[in-house]
Amino acid sequence: MAANPGVESHDHPGAAPSPTPGSALPRPWHTILKHAALPTLTHDEQARFNVVAAMNRFLAQQLLPRVEAAAGQVVEPALKAELGRPAADRHEYRRGLERELTWRIWSRMRRATMEMRQQAGRLAVLRQLPALVDTCRKLNAGHDHLRLDPSLVPPRYLRALPAHLMPGGYTGELVADDITAGASYEIGIYATLGGQSGPASDRAGRATVTWLEAHRPGWRPRRILDLGCGMGANTLVLARAFPDAEVVAIDAGAPMLRYGAARARALGVDNVRFIQGDIEQPPLSDEAPFDLIVSLMVLHETSRTAVQRIFKASFEHLAAGGLAFHLEQPPYRDKPLLEQCLRDWDGRYNNEAFWSALHDTDLVAAMRQAGFDAGAVRETRADTAAPRPTPDHAKVQEDYGRGGTWYVVTGERQAS
């Protein structure tokens, strides 16, 4: 008898019902936000990114449910038989997962999509690098919105390991006035997330503004500091939300900053200054204190010592009545061991050296140690809707580590 189309078989380990295939299709690359600094992609270059987006969506929506089913049907019973008890922590659980074929296929394909994204992005940028450098140089000329420090030695955690498998990482430079890292990051992250972070890949910034509207309604910060701004996608959300504010964005990567500053000019945002510096010790000795200090999906790129110093800097540079707002992926505590392993994937297979340790760190205690009063530190979450809602009947599997709900730790400084 022929199988009933659309009905999933459950007669083998690892089988699981699939979410509706068309429920969360990735956005094609051509729907990215266009601006004068953005690389121009050929048909084939766009197709490569579309393959990355489609494969990531397949892995999350079709294969990951089978990983979860195999974990319950195969991995957990095998671990209990081997250990004489259930796995005690995610490390024991992961060792069982890594012996399971479904997990190995999912993990290796996920790694392959990241490698493909980085190769496709770098090749597309290198093909037109002289023209892109010239465009960004012209956009940045004659303005004081970009301040670089050629003497800066980026922290070792940025130099030692290319995060996300990106060749050269955030700080590597190929040519004079290089913008490769920033341009490659923008065109690639859109594919990895399948457009679900919006045309500008700025969902964390929008989640921050949504949080501020809910928790500090009517508040208008006059000075904003973004620590670890990268190419500034989320920074520009804050700049637009508070157009009368002065926004200072700091990052160690000159290629990210050159591109980010040019991108801001191309998009007509003129209240942001991009400064090269170490966010553990921001070069702000002559700056007035800030009403709002943020780091958005940055802490996992650093180190345990760096987090403490970043929190200390956010305390020291915060104005009376101000808010320090640090956004990250959720901590692992109290989550099922399988979910911990899924969330921990980036820390083990995607060159995120501090990812695992960060999500075991007590950030509330770290904020208090940095100087914030115990009662002034809070844990909350920030969220914002995906740009294209999913039909109510469709189940959408979270793509762990890439979702749109974040953990937030905040600290307030009492008004004088």
Q: What is the DSSP string of 351-371?
A: S-TTHHHHTTS-HHHHHHHTT
Instruction: For residues 271 and 292, give the distance between their C-alpha atoms in angstroms, rounded to a whole number.
Output: 15
Phi-psi region of 199 (alpha: psi -120 to 50; beta: other; left: phi over 0): alpha
Q: What is the pLDDT of residue 249?
A: 98
Q: What is the pTM of this model?
A: 0.92
Cα 366 from chain centre? 21
Instruction: For residues 127 and 129, give the distance between their C-alpha atoms in angstroms, rounded to a whole number.
Output: 6
The phi, psi pair for 172, rounded to 5°, reads: -65, 140
Spatial contact of 197 and 207, defined as CB atoms under 8 Å apart: no
Instruction: For residues 146 and 258, give the distance between their C-alpha atoms in angstroms, rounded to a whole number.
Output: 7
Burial of residue 371, with CB atoms counted within 10 A of its CB: 0-12 exposed, 13-18 middle, 19 or more buried = middle
Give 211-217 contacts, CB < 8 A, sequence gap 24+: 211/325, 211/380, 211/382, 211/408, 212/241, 212/292, 212/325, 215/380, 216/323
- pLDDT values of the chain reduced to their tens digit, one per residue, 416 residues: 333 333 333 334 344 444 444 446 899 999 999 999 999 999 999 999 999 999 999 999 999 999 999 999 999 999 999 999 999 999 999 999 999 999 999 999 999 999 999 999 999 999 999 999 999 999 999 989 999 999 999 999 999 989 899 999 999 999 999 999 999 999 999 999 999 999 999 999 999 999 999 999 999 999 999 999 999 999 999 999 999 999 999 999 999 999 999 999 999 999 999 999 999 999 997 788 999 999 999 999 999 999 999 999 999 999 999 999 999 999 999 899 999 999 999 999 999 999 999 999 999 999 999 999 999 999 999 987 665 555 544 566 788 888 778 999 999 998 86
CATH 3.40.50.2000 for the 24-416 domain, yes or no: no
Per-residue pLDDT tens for 4-48?
333 333 334 344 444 444 446 899 999 999 999 999 999 999 999
Cα–Cα distances (Å) from 48 to 34, 53, 116, 187, in that order, read 18, 9, 8, 11
User: Which residues, including other chains, have CB under 8 Å from residue 392's CB and lie 6 or more apart?
Assistant: none
